[in-house]
Structure formats: C-alpha cells, structure tokens
Amino acid sequence: MSSPLALDVADLSKKYGDRMALSHANFEVPMGSICGFVGPNGSGKTTTIRMLLGLISPTTGSGHVLGESITQPEKYLPNVGAMIEGPAFYPALTGAQNLTVLAKLGGFDTNTIQGLLDLVDLGDRGNSKYKTYSLGMKQRLGIAAALLPKPKLLILDEPTNGLDPAGIQEVRALLRKLADNGTTVFVSSHLLSEIEMISDHLVMLRLGKVIFSGKTSELLAKQQPVIVAKPENRGDLEKLVKIAEAGGHSAKIIDESVHVTGTSDFSAKLNKAAFEAGITLESLTPVRASLEDTFFEMTGE
Amino acid sequence: MWNVFKAELTKLKRPSLSISTIAAVTFVTGLVTSLLFLLVDSPEGNGERGVRIGRDVLALPTGVSLSFSNAAGLLGIVALCIFAAQTAQEYTYGTLRNLLVRQPSRMKILLGKLGSMKLFAIAMVTLSAVLAVSLSYLFAGVKDISTGAWSTPDARSAVLRTFINVLIATIGYGIFGMILGLLFRSPISAISIGVIWNLIIEGLLSAFVTNIDKYFPGQLLSIVATGGNDRISYQYALFTSYGFLLAGLAIVAFLFKKRDVAN
C-alpha cells in the first residue's frame, strides 16, 4: 500500500493572460518527507505554492493538500504553516506582536509565541519592532510564524534567504527535526546544495513544467559518475582523452582536466594506462554528480 | 470572524496609530469648536461656508453639540484615512497572504476588519464628543454665551442624537476609505483619491452646482451628521449615502473574493 500523500497535484495549470506560469504539473509528496522544490527564477514555483495555499485559483487541473482539495483551503490550512516569497509583517509592530496577530487570526495559543521566538533565536528581540530587524531576523520570524499552527505540512519559499552560514545550518537542523517528528516539509530554495543535503524528495520545474518528481537519490543515481584527471603536462590532455576512449569511456577536456564518464573502478585502470603512456597525473578524482550539476544539465541553464 | 476582529484590534492598538489618531481628533474637534465659539461676533461668519451662527442659536439645547456635528466631516476624513490605510497596507506590506493562509474565508477577513475599525471609529467619535462638549463650555464662558439650556434633558437628548449621527457619518466615511483601499491596493493612492474626492471634487461642485450634493455620498454623510437640513432630509441623506456605500462595498467585496492574491 502506498504511503499517504501530503501533496498530490494532477495536471495543474495556471495561465496569466497569454503566459503559462505553470503547465500541467503532476507531482506527489509523501507524508513525513522533506521535499525540495527547485527551478530557475520564473519557473512557476511560487505560483504553485500560491495555488496550494488557496491564494490563487488554478486555470485547470486539481490538487490535494493533506487529502483535501485545494478548492477548499479552509479544510487543510489550519494544519499548514507557510512562508511565501519571503517574510511579510507589519513594520510598526514588534516581532511578538506580529506573531500575536497571526495566532489570534488562526485561533492558536498565544502562549507558544515566546517558545517559537526562542526556537528561531529571536527570544531576546521579540519586543523589538519588525522594521528594526535584519534580513536574517525577518526570515527567522517568518519561519516562527509558519510554525504557529504546529503544522502537519510546512511550506517554505526560500527560507534560507539572507541567513548567514550558521543560520542556514540551524534552519537545516530545524527542518530535519520537524520531519523526524512527522511534519512534511515542502521547501523551495535556490541553494541546491542545501536542498541536496536535506531533501529526500524533489520536484524540479523548468519553464512552468515539472521535469522531475521523485526521490532525490533516484535522480542522482541516474547521473553517471565522472573521474576528473589532471595531467602534470597540459600537452597530454588530448592523449589522455584517447586513452579513456580506448578503454570504452567517453571523455572531454574541461579547463585543464579531462572529465571521464565512469565509476571509481575505472580510476586505477586509467592511472595505469596513463603511466604506461608516459603521462604523469597531478590528480585523479572520482566525482559524484551533485544536484547542482544535475539541475543545470536538466534545466539547460 | 471574531478571530479576525481580535487580530485587527492588535494592529489598531499600536501606539503610533493610537497617538496620531488622538492628536488628529483633538486638533479637528478643537479647531471646529474654537472657530464656532470664538468667531461668534465675526462678520465673516463662524459656520460652514461663511454662515453666521449667533449667540442665541448657540445658547439653545442643541448648542452644546453643534461643534461636534460640525466636526463630523473632518472626523470622517480621519476615519477615511485610517480605514483606507489599514485595508490597503495589507497589499503593500504583502501581509494579505499571511492573513489568508490563517483565515482563508475572505469575507470573514473583510467583515472582521470592518468590525474592528468600527470599534476604532466609536472610540474616535467618543473622544471627539467629550472634547467638543468640554471645549464648548470653556469657550461659551469666554464669549459670554448662556449655557443654561445645555444641562436640560433636551440638551442631553441632542448630544446623544448627534453622537449617533456623527458615528453613522464617520463610519460611512470609513467604509468609503475601505472601498478605496480594496480598489487601489495602495494606502497613498486610496487616501489621496478619497481626500481629493471629498474635500475638493464634492466640496467645489456642491458649492457651485445647485442640489448636486444630493448625489454625493460625502456631502450626504455630512448632512446625516447634522441630522438633515432644509433641502435634504435626514432619511434621504442616510439611505442614499449608505445605499452608495453598501453597493460599492458589495462590488469590492466580490472583487476581493475572486481576485488572485499574487503579490
């Protein structure tokens, strides 16, 4: 039996005038997973998130959030926390007051506010006005606001924008902790290395179309590993390419190295063949394709 | 809707808004009351558009609440600005999306907002009433105007009637501000268009075109505040002005419900 779904989108489209912002999107996000939502600017990520949150209506198609149709957001939004397109709060109110407004609006317990501010490291700045916050602090307040309903599903749009490396690490740890406790996290980010580190599922968009949806490990496994060989003498680059090709592997020169498609098993053979041909290798490194490499390859960016 | 009401009150209670509103209401009421009483002997008049309101009129039971009803137009402008800003700022700050995620029913958002702003308007009008009556006594003493009739049951009933009428007018101006806020989605645009419309367009046209004020909501709300006049009855002013406003509110509420929130 398949696991229950936090998000289930079928043939979802949104058209603005003549422009198709999202075209026949299909994807599923299992309950309890961390799903990365990636794509270049303008690929339709925020449009999708807005439709999932009932802020805009789809042109065609359907979607379900926590088992409820996106045409009835009142049924699932009490269990959803969200930060869309960065934090947005009232500048003249303090961080705590801003959270109070949202807690009262959603009928949530206002006694949890201090705990949430502590959680996002704003415990001592909760009584400062929002307009005095740095970008990173605003971002952390946005995450605290998203956690107000103790959500079953957390939707975050670029949550690490403006955060310093320590802040990014904290957010990563927080998301992992939430997922471990059963919260489904749907997170869009430009920081693909971050997404690769935390997400077990992935939805990839390009020009309004879903080009991949599934497990991150499955996507990365599809990518062929590469061995990067750098000869001591740059004049040996062409010779090295021929040696690799003679071994049945494709190879190309990138900068001052030869990139050979193949697993690390071929490294020793390549090293031996190069040595026998009188080529001294400065370095020989097996490289696993990163999400970033895969992303660029798939999106053609 | 009750949750929206409570959340909105948190925003309305912020010191910057409360203090500036108290200052504006105090200024408007003080200005109108002082002009009415201190210019009682001025040949240029002490009422709207040069009308002379003499000592005998001010000494009537209705004299104690006259400045209060005269201030209604300006109080209305204050309400218009507040309602417009509180509505339109949700778009400019981008906070509307937060509100709609926490309360997806857009009609509840609108009604909760309107309810909380009405409460704010009640506080504004109450402050203005207290100030107007207090200052009327003060300035009456300065200008030797008899206040004997001001403590009669007729005077108390006049104050209560004026309070209700000014409140209806002030909320009406506020609703006009809210309509503009929802329509223009920018506090600056909504406020400037509202103020220009009320003070300049309606004011100028009413001064130069006979009876055109019968069709202007702002002018009609001023007439509601004063309880009607010789040309336009209270009932006509009330039903026509609120007819315009409720029709406008229904249209923008429909747009608000259907429009995508894409900013």
| Nearest CA-CA partner of A155 in A90, A206, A219, A79 | A79
pLDDT reading at B115 higher than 70: yes
pLDDT of B43 reads 74
pLDDT band at A2 (very low <50, low <70, confident <90, very high): low
Q: Residues B160, B61: contact at Cβ < 8 Å?
A: no
Instruction: Kindly tell me the sign of the dihedral angle through the C-alpha atoms of A90, A137, A39, A4.
Output: negative
User: Over pLDDT 70: what percentage of chain B?
Assistant: 98
The least confident of A118-127, B25-34, B52-61 is B52-61
pLDDT reading at B58 higher than 50: yes
Nearest to B7 among A55, A77, A101 (CB): A101
Instruction: Tell the residue number behind the tokens 């439709």, with chain if given.
Output: A51
Q: DSSP character for A221? A: H
pLDDT tens digit sequence for B127-155: 999 999 999 999 888 888 888 888 899 99
pLDDT reading at A119 higher than 80: yes
Q: How far apart are CA A241 and CA B212, in angstroms?
A: 89
pLDDT of A1 reads 45
Q: How far apart are CA B95 and CA B102, in angstroms?
A: 11
| Nearest CA-CA partner of B124 in B160, B67, B180, B82 | B82
pLDDT tens digit sequence for B216-254: 999 999 999 988 888 899 999 999 999 999 999 999 999
Min distance A95 CA to chain B CA atoms (Å): 12
Nearest to B95 among A90, A100, A107 (CB): A90
Q: DSSP character for A129? A: B
Q: For the sheet with A226-231, list strands across it.
A: A251-254, A257-261, A226-231, A281-287
Complex prediction ipTM: 0.84
Task: Tell me how far CA of residue A66 lies from CA of A38, A107, A179, B120, in angstroms.
Answer: 21, 20, 15, 39
Q: Residues A228, A239: contact at Cβ < 8 Å?
A: no
Helix %, strand %, coil % of chain A (to 5):
40, 30, 30
Nearest to A105 among B14, B97, B99 (CB): B99
Instruction: Tell the residue number behind the tokens 């108290």, with chain if given.
Output: B22
Instruction: Kindly tell me the sign of the dihedral angle through the C-alpha atoms of B250, B254, B255, B256.
Output: positive
Total residue count of chain A as it appears in this document = 301
Min distance A271 CA to chain B CA atoms (Å): 57
Q: How far apart are CA A261 and CA A167, in angstroms?
A: 37
Task: Tell me the backbone φ, ψ of residue A267, rounded to 5 degrees.
Answer: -55, -50
Q: Residues A274, A231: contact at Cβ < 8 Å?
A: yes
Nearest to B260 among A56, A97, A106 (CB): A56
Indicate the pairing of strand A184-188 with strand A34-38. Answer: parallel
Q: How far apart are CA B101 and CA A248, in angstroms?
A: 56
pLDDT of A3 reads 65
Min distance B185 CA to chain A CA atoms (Å): 16
For chain A, give the mean pLDDT: 87
pLDDT reading at A166 higher than 50: yes
Q: How far apart are CA A47 and CA A15, in angstroms?
A: 10
Amino acid found at A267: S
pLDDT band at A17 (very low <50, low <70, confident <90, very high): confident
User: Cβ A55–B100 below 8 Å, yes or no?
Assistant: yes
User: Cβ B6–A82 below 8 Å, yes or no?
Assistant: no
Q: How far out from the chain centre does Cα B193 lie?
A: 16
pLDDT reading at B191 higher than 60: yes
Q: What is the DSSP string of B131-188?
A: HHHHHHHHHHHHTT---GGGGSHHHHHHHHHHHHHHHHHHHHHHHHHHHHHHHH--HH
Task: Tell me the backbone φ, ψ of residue A110, rounded to 5 degrees.
Answer: -75, -10
pLDDT of B261 reads 82
Task: Tell me how far CA of residue B134 lies from CA of A146, A298, B75, in angstroms.
Answer: 49, 76, 17
pLDDT of A254 reads 84
Q: How far apart are CA A188 and CA A176, in angstroms?
A: 15
pLDDT reading at B41 higher than 80: no
The first and second tokens of residue B58, run together, are: 């001010």
Q: What is the DSSP string of A87-156?
A: ----TTSBHHHHHHHHHHHHT--GGGHHHHHHHTT-TTTTTSBGGG--HHHHHHHHHHHHHTT--SEEEE
pLDDT of B203 reads 85
- Residues from B contacting A (CB-CB < 8 Å) are 3-4, 6-7, 10-11, 14, 16-17, 89, 93-95, 97-105, 260-262
Min distance B126 CA to chain A CA atoms (Å): 26
Q: Residues A84, A49: contact at Cβ < 8 Å?
A: yes
Cα end-to-end distance, chain B, whole Å: 24
Q: How far apart are CA B46 and CA B61, in angstroms?
A: 18
For chain B, give the mean pLDDT: 90
Half-sphere exposure of A285 (CA within 13 A, CB side): 8
Chain A interface disruption, residue of B101, B103, B109, B111, most A CBs within 10 A? B101
Per-residue HEC secondary structure of B1-30 comes to CHHHHHHHHHHHCCHHHHHHHHHHHHHHHH
Choice between B168 and B44, residue whose per-residue pLDDT is larger: B168
CA angle A60, A61, A63 (to 5 degrees): 135
Min distance A233 CA to chain B CA atoms (Å): 56
The first and second tokens of residue B140, run together, are: 């009456």
Q: How far out from the chain centre does Cα B154 lie?
A: 25
pLDDT reading at A13 higher than 90: yes
pLDDT reading at B78 higher than 70: yes
pLDDT of B263 reads 67
Cα end-to-end distance, chain A, whole Å: 38
The least confident of A110-119, A156-165, B19-28, B127-136 is A156-165
- CB contact set of A165 (below 8 Å; sequence gap of 6+): none
